[in-house]
Homo-oligomer: A and B are copies of this chain.
Amino acid sequence: MYETLLMIPGPTRVAPRVLKAMSKSMINHRSAAFGEILKETNDMMSKVFRTENESYLLTGSGTAAMEAAVGNITQKGDKVLNILGGKFGERFMQITETHKGSPVELEVEWGHAVNPNYIKDILEKDEDIKAVTVVHNETSTGVANPIAEIGKIVKDYDALYIVDTVSSLGGDDVFVDGYNIDICVTGSQKCLAAPPGMAAITLSDDAWNVVDKTENDTYYLNMRKYKKSGDKNPPETPYTPSVSLMYAMREALNIIMEEGLDSRILRHKQAAKATRAGVKALGLELFAEPDAASNTVTAIKMPEGVTDKDLRGTMRNKYHIELAGGQDHLKGNVFRIGHMGNITQRDIITTISALEMTLKELGFDLEMGKGVEAVENVYLS
């Protein structure tokens, strides 16, 4: 009877018209008809990335695109500055190591954003750094890193600027060209609200120059092959793409074009603000520093005396709302509310209300109604 409300940082709820588009019959992926769909989808992706460059769709998760970004520009011994501070920052470092690069690690305390000046210091001291990797929105901690400011710094150095916008693109400000981003990657199942299984990547001319000179150890994720196939008219993919997911991506991007990217991002900002206000009004503490709070996911410290199982279990089983737990060393110590994709005021109000009731049941001393009141005040302001 109840459909579970997904308040997790992906996969997010997919609109019925996207599910319907996805369920169309197969067509030949080497046909002109599919080429047109691919072209439309690529072009809309570039609009969402806010870049003049081409975008490429990969059949795979966001991690596949992260690996494509680093694997195509890294060869043995290449120094890559990896900004840590969360699970996905660390993933970039692991990928750098996998591709025999030499990570230069900038540790950031989980819950904090990186200070761009530290990046400047490192680039100033070490001119061999070939690329800088930043995760825009650390899904694991609910932190947004200042990618505009970092872009202003990196552009003065001979290093590529690689940004993971897997859980921010379409829900927070990302101007690939405006921020001087050389390689930007994202995933289908977060703010774009398509099903999981597709990832997108865009590369600047500078990035392509490096790709062309790099001894590449990727095959499925080899971007030169994607470019060669993508440059055909109509474009193709080097390997069989998921035709169904491409239908879905096109329709999800159509929805974004109809809503307007600015309106969509504003909607995410309001949802984030409302979520934080609601959570704080319930007496809970946010995990991320206030000035680093994400627009798309909020990490909340697990209140004293409450277990993850109790809190998320009650939310799931009694209120049919799925929240996310903590990852790695935050497991059990935080829980997370995703507010990305096709998220509405109703979803935030329902979630905060259910959280209020859950906490009350778990023996928390709180004044009922305060959480929802705080959410309403954000939406009315």
| A interface with B by C-beta (< 8 Å) | 3-4, 6, 8, 10-14, 19-20, 22-31, 59-64, 67, 71, 94-95, 98-100, 187, 189, 195-198, 216-222, 239-245, 248, 322, 324-325
What B residues does A61 contact at CB under 8 A? 59, 220, 239-241
A248 and chain B: residue at smallest CB distance = B244
Q: How far is the CA of A245 from the CA of B221 in the complex (A)?
A: 20
- Are A11 and B217 also in contact (CB < 8 A) when A27-B4, A197-B197 are? no
Closest to A8 in B: B28
**Are A10 and B240 neighbours in the complex by a CB distance under 8 Å?**
yes
Main secondary structure of the interface of A (DSSP, over half): loop
Complexed CA–CA distance, A160 and B25 (Å) = 39
Residues A98 and B218 in contact in the complex (CB < 8 Å), given A20-B23, A26-B189: yes
A248 to chain B, nearest CB (A): 7
Least CB distance from A18 to B in Å reads 9
CB-CB nearest in chain B for A11: B26
A196 and B67 contacting across the interface, CB-CB below 8 Å? no
Other-chain contact of A240, B11, B28, B221 (Cβ < 8 Å): B11
Given A25-B3, A189-B26, A242 and B242 contact (CB-CB distance below 8 Å): yes
Cβ contacts A to B, 14 pairs, < 8 Å: A3-B25, A6-B28, A11-B29, A19-B23, A19-B24, A26-B195, A30-B324, A59-B197, A62-B239, A63-B219, A67-B220, A98-B219, A100-B217, A220-B221
Residue pair B243, A11 in contact (C-beta under 8 Å):
yes
CA distance A226 to B26 in the complex (A): 29
Q: For the complex of A and B, list the 3 residue pairs with the smallest distance between their C-beta atoms, beginning with the closest.
A: A197-B242, A195-B244, A23-B23
Task: Name the contact of A219 in the complex, choosing from B8, B29, B67, B322 (C-beta under 8 A).
Answer: B67
A219 contacts which chain B residues (CB < 8 A)? 63, 67, 71, 94-95, 98-99
Give, as a whole number of angstroms, the nearest-CB distance from A95 to chain B.
Answer: 5
Q: Give A308 Cβ to nearest chain B Cβ, in Å.
A: 12
Cβ–Cβ < 8 Å partners of A30 in chain B: 324-325
Tell me, in angstroms, the Cα distance from A71 to B242 when the chains sit together: 22
A71 CB contacts on chain B under 8 angstroms: 219
Contact (Cβ within 8 A) B100 A239? no
> When the two chains form their complex, are residues A242 and B196 in contact, meaning their CB atoms are under 8 A apart?
yes
Partner of A14, one of B26, B95, B222, B324: B26
Residues of B within 8 A of A94 (CB): 219
Contact A217/B217 with A197-B59, A241-B61 known, Cβ cut-off 8 Å: yes
Report the Cα distance A71→B26, complex, angstroms: 30
Partner of A26, one of B13, B28, B241: B13
The residues of B that contact A4 with a CB separation of less than 8 Å are: 27
Q: Specify which chain B residues have a CB less than 8 angstroms from the CB of A241 in the assembled complex.
A: 61, 196-197
Contact B26 A12 (CB under 8 A): yes
Minimum CB–CB distance from A134 to chain B (whole Å) comes to: 18
Chain B CB count within 10 A is highest, among A14, A29, A60, A220, for A220
- In the complex, which residue of chain B has the Cβ closest to the Cβ of A188? B242
- Distance of A178 from chain B, by nearest CB (Å): 28
CB pair B23 A22 closer than 8 Å: yes
Cα distance, A282 to B229, chains bound together (Å): 35
